[in-house]
Amino acid sequence: MHTLVTGGGGFLGRAIVEQLLARGDQVRSFSRGVHAELTELGVEVVRGDIRDAEAVAQACEGIECVFHTAAIAGIGGTWNRFYSANTLGTENVIAACRRHGVQSLVYTSSPSVTFAGGDQCGVTECEAPIDLAWLEKNECHYSRSKALAEQGVLAANCEQLATCALRPHLIWGPGDPHLVPRLIHRAKSGRLRRVGDGTNLVDVIHVENAARAHLQAADSLVRPDSPVAGKTYFLSQGEPVNCWQWINQILALVNVPPVIKSISLKKALRIGQACEWGYRIARSQQEPPMTRFLAWQLASSHWFDISAARQDFGYQPLVSTAEGMQQLAAWLQPS
């Protein structure tokens, strides 16, 4: 296929690019940054901002399938910052696909679009609807902007453009520039606290598994009467981990002491709201150390039923959690 990966220089985007190249697809990457390593791999690299409709349209010319991974993530910043990139940027991608006759669009969403402040234990896509009102009330800007984008992608599904949305949860693995380094940094600085009683289970997914699922979904989309078209799917390792035990396992790989100190969810919520107010008043674009959303996420269980992905496009996590941790150890502790 002639493929476009938005955010091709990012963590997940890069893994998708590499898997596409490995099977012989022609790959174009669209992102804001300079990624010389992609050019060396044979990728056509196009620089641009996802918020620039014309730049996105030009990047989609001659493309058959788009993997839209580009997004602004995080818990800090204004609503407009997330909305302009994640929601309006996705609208630009959809419009560009229509303009140039792109056949299929695979959108990277997030399970957090379904979060509403409580435990989610083994829920299916049907059992976890998007609650935009809750996300807006609690200022979950990232999740709300991604939810709106996901709804737009699914609504765009038609005979000319087949679309789907994938919800990988806590992507990690060698080369991770986000989750793992952030955990280690906060633990080393003494700013990491367990929230809640430490028994909550969460889903995670190795980056190679997440990337492979994107390719599998794209392959299914081009088939007549594809069961994937117009649908959204949870993705994970297939078995949840204890959130705080898993964090401590990662810390142990770099000889950082485990997280022992804890605070209650109630206290974390108070701190989170105070941080939100303070950063809003200061008009800071930095990430606060705590928000209400982060407090809920750290204290609650959220793991999902991936049966639909298994059934509809054959998803199966090939890299086990144990194998992934060995890879992570080798990356964090190079010889």
**Chain segment 238-265, per-residue pLDDT in tens:** 999 999 999 999 999 999 999 999 999 9
Of 83, 107, 142, 279, catalytic: 142
133: exposed, middle or buried (Cβ count in 10 Å: 0-12, 13-18, 19+): exposed
The percentage of the chain sitting over the pLDDT mark of 70, rounded to a whole number, equals 100
**Chain segment 194-249, per-residue pLDDT in tens:** 999 999 999 999 999 999 999 999 999 999 899 999 999 999 999 999 999 999 99
Residue 57 has pLDDT above 70, yes or no: yes
Return the pLDDT at 287: 83
Return the pLDDT at 283: 81
**Chain segment 134-187, per-residue pLDDT in tens:** 999 988 999 999 999 999 999 999 999 999 999 999 999 999 999 999 999 999
Residue 245 neighbours by CB under 8 Å, 6+ apart: none
C-alpha distance across the termini of the chain, in Å:
38
Residue 34 has pLDDT above 90, yes or no: no
Q: Which long-range contacts (CB under 8 A, 24 or more apart) does 25-32 make?
A: 25/1, 26/1, 26/2, 27/3, 28/2, 28/3, 28/4, 28/59, 28/63, 29/4, 29/5, 30/4, 30/5, 30/6, 30/55, 30/56, 30/59, 30/70, 31/6, 31/7, 31/70
Q: For position 243, which CATH number holds?
A: 3.40.50.720
- Domain hosting 39: range is 2-332
179: exposed, middle or buried (Cβ count in 10 Å: 0-12, 13-18, 19+): middle
Average pLDDT, the chain: 95
**Chain segment 301-312, per-residue pLDDT in tens:** 999 999 999 999
Q: How many CB atoms lie within 10 A of CB 122?
A: 14
Report whether 331 contacts 175 (CB < 8 A): yes
Return the pLDDT at 335: 56
Calculate the alpha carbon distances from 266 to 22, 47, 291, 295 in Å.
Answer: 49, 44, 12, 9
Active site residue 142: yes
**Chain segment 67-79, per-residue pLDDT in tens:** 999 999 988 888 9
Two tokens, residue 257: 């002491």
Q: Taking every pair of C-alpha atoms in the chain, what is the biggest distance, in angstroms?
A: 55
Number of domains in the chain: 1
